[in-house]
Amino acid sequence: MAATETEEKKSDALIDDENEVPTDGLATARRLWDSAGRERWRLVVAVVSAVFYVAASLAAPAYSAGLVDLLWSNIQAAEAAGETYVVTLDNGGMQILTFLGIWTLAWAFYAIQSLVMASFAERLNLGLRARIAEKVGRLPLSYYDAHQPGDTISRATNDLDKVSEVLQRGLLQIIISALMFVGAVGVMLSYSPVLGGVFLVFAAASLGLTKLVAGKTIRVAARRQEALGVVTRKVEEAYSGRTVIKAFGRDGASVVDVRAAADELAKTSADADFITNAISPAIRLLVRLAQVSCGLIAGAMLLAGQLTVGVFQSFFQFVTTATEPLTQLSMTVNMLQGALAAAERVYALLDAEEVVPDPEGPAALPDPVRGRVVFEHVAFGYAPGKRLMSDVNLVAEPGQKVAVVGATGAGKTTLINLLMRFYEVDGGRIALDGVDTRDLTRADLRRQFGMVLQDAWLFEGTIAENIAYGKPGATREEVEAAARAAHVDFFVRTLPRGYDTVLGNDAENVSQGQRQLLTIARAMLCDPAILILDEATSSVDTRTEQAIVRAMEAIMENRTSFVIAHRLSTVVDADLILVMDHGDIIEQGTHAELLAAGGAYAELYRSQFA
C-alpha cells in the first residue's frame, strides 16, 4: 500500500544503475568468490584447466620448431641421396603423432575449462537469484516506495545475466590471454632477443592505444545505456498514457519526443560502436606492421644462418599467439568492468535494509479479536530528521467506524501504513486489543485486517479466484455471496463465462468501477475483524456508491473500521472522525461535534457543500 507522502522521496533514493564502472571492483570480486560457496572447486578446476590449455598451446608451436627442422633435414638428406622421403614411425612419424597429441591435449583442457566454467557461472547465478528471491520478501515497503519496479527487476535479471555471461566468456579469457602473451613473448625472446624486442615495441604501442581508447569506450558506453534508458521510459510512457495523450491531442508531440530520444540513442550508439569496433582494426594494423618488421629481420637472419627454418616458422606462430590476446584483452577488460558494476548493483539490493524481524516469541491476540486500536504518542518520519508525525494519539473502540479526513498529503494513508506495520513507528506504540503490534508477527497482525484500496489491484486469473484471493479455500457459494453483497454479482453474470471469466492484463476487460467492486467483494469474503477502506468508492457512480455504503454498513457492524475519505458525505455517520494535517491529528470527534467546534473540519465540510 503506497503512501502518498513518500512520492517526494522516491526521486532522492533512486539508484543510478547505468554506471558501467565498478566503484570497488576488488571488493566485489571477493564477494562473488564468497557467494560461490561450495561451487568454488569448479572455478579452481576451470583455472587449472586453462593453465594446462595455455601450456599445451605454447608447447605445440615450440615443439613444431624441432619437428620442422627434423623433417627439413630428412627431406634434404633424401634429395641428396636421390631418394624419395617417406615418413615412418622411426623417421618423423612419432614426432608428428606427438605434435598431434599436444594439440589434442590443448583441445581437451579447453573443453574442460569451458564446460566447468559455464556450470560455475550458472550455479553462481542461480544462487544469487535465490538470495534475491528471498530478499525481496524481507524488504520494507519503504524500499519499494524509493525504487522503481524496473530497477529491482533489472538487478535480478539483466545484471545477473551480464555477470554470468562475462564469467563464462571473459574471466578465463583474461587469464588465458595474459598467460599466452607472457609465455609467447618469453619463447620469442629465447629464440632471438632482437626479434622479441622488435615485437615488444609494437606490443607496447598496442597496449598504449588500448588503454587510451578503453576509458573513452566506457564513457561512451555509459552514455549509450543512459540514452537507452530514456528511450525505454519514453516509449513506456507513450504506450501506458496513450489515452491521455490522444485526449489532449499530443500525439504529434509524443512522437517527436520519442523520436528525439531515439535519435540521441542512435547517435550515442554510433559513437560507441565506432570506438568499440575501431580499436580492433587499429591493433591489427600494428600487429601486421610487427609481423612485417619481424619478417624482414628474421628473413635476413635465416639467410645468414642465424635461424633455422623450424625456428623461423615457430617464431611467427608465437607472433600470432601473442597478438591475439592483445586484441581480446581490450574488449574483455571492459566486459569484466561492466560485469563487476552489475554485480555491485546486485549486492546493493542484497545489502538493502530489511524489515525488523518478527519476535521469536510472538504474543497472542485474544480470541475472538475485538478490534480495539490505540495509538499512544506515535512519532514517525519517512526519512531521518524529517518528522511527519510528532505525537499522535487516538482510541478506536471495538465496532466503531473511524473516518480519517484531511487534505492530500495530510498523513491519512501513513496512519494506515503504521497500523498495518508497513512502516515501523519511530516512537510511541500502537496496540490492538491491548497487545503492542510489534510483539505480533506481521502475518498474525495483517490477518485481522481486510483492505479495499483506491487503486484496485487484480491479477490475471478468473473473477472467482480474484474474489477468493484472501481466502483461497472459499466455496463458490461464499464467493457469490460476497459478490452479491458488493453489488457486483449481476455484472459478473452478464459475462459469457460468469465467475470463470479470466481477467487479462491489468484487468482491462472490466471497467475501473467494476474492478473496485470486485476488490470490495474480496474484502467482504475475508470476514476480517477490522476493515480499512481507502477511498473505496472513489471509482463508482453515486447510485452504486450508495448501494455499496449500505453493504458496507452491514459488514462493518460489530467491526472496527477505518475509512479514508475525501467526500465527507460518506462519513457523516462515523462514530469518530479524525482530521489530519501535516501528519498530526488536529481534531477528532463526531460530525456534529466537529461542526459545532467550527474548526478545520467545519471549514472543509462547508467547502464541499457550500
- DSSP-assigned letter for residue 410: S
The top-scoring range by mean pLDDT among 43-52, 154-163, 193-202, 311-320 is 43-52
Q: Which residue has the cell 555471461?
A: 165
Query: Which of 70 and 255 is assigned the larger pLDDT?
Result: 255
The average confidence (pLDDT) of the chain is 81
Q: What is the pLDDT of residues 322-369, one digit of tens each?
A: 777 766 766 677 677 778 888 888 888 888 888 888 888 888 888 888
Q: What is the pLDDT of residue 107?
A: 92
- Listed in order, strand segments (DSSP E) in 129-262 are none
Contact assessment for residue 297 and residue 254, using Cβ atoms and an 8 Å cutoff? no
Cell of 560: 472496527
* pLDDT bracket for residue 5 (50, 70, 90): very low
Q: What is the pLDDT of residue 8?
A: 38
Q: What is the pLDDT of residues 75-102, one digit of tens each?
A: 777 777 777 777 777 777 888 898 899 8
Instruction: Evaluate if residue 496 carries a pLDDT over 90.
Output: no
CA atoms 91, 97, 100, 106: torsion sign:
negative
Q: What is the pLDDT of residue 540?
A: 63
Q: What is the pLDDT of residue 19?
A: 45
Q: What is the pLDDT of residue 547?
A: 64
- Among residues of the chain, what percentage have pLDDT more than 90? 8
Q: What is the pLDDT of residue 68?
A: 81
Q: What is the pLDDT of residue 375?
A: 93
Cis peptide bond upstream of 368, omega within 30: yes
- DSSP-assigned letter for residue 109: H
pTM for this structure?
Answer: 0.67
- The predicted model gives 437-451 an average pLDDT of 88
Q: What is the pLDDT of residue 317?
A: 81
Q: What is the pLDDT of residue 431?
A: 93
* pLDDT bracket for residue 578 (50, 70, 90): very high
- The predicted model gives 14-25 an average pLDDT of 52
Q: What is the pLDDT of residues 383-436, one digit of tens each?
A: 777 888 888 899 999 888 899 998 888 888 889 889 988 888 889 999 998 899
Contact assessment for residue 14 and residue 229, using Cβ atoms and an 8 Å cutoff? no
Cell of 408: 492530500
* pLDDT bracket for residue 29 (50, 70, 90): confident
Instruction: Evaluate if residue 201 carries a pLDDT over 80.
Output: yes
- Rounded CA separation 394/140 (Å): 25
Cell of 577: 472522525
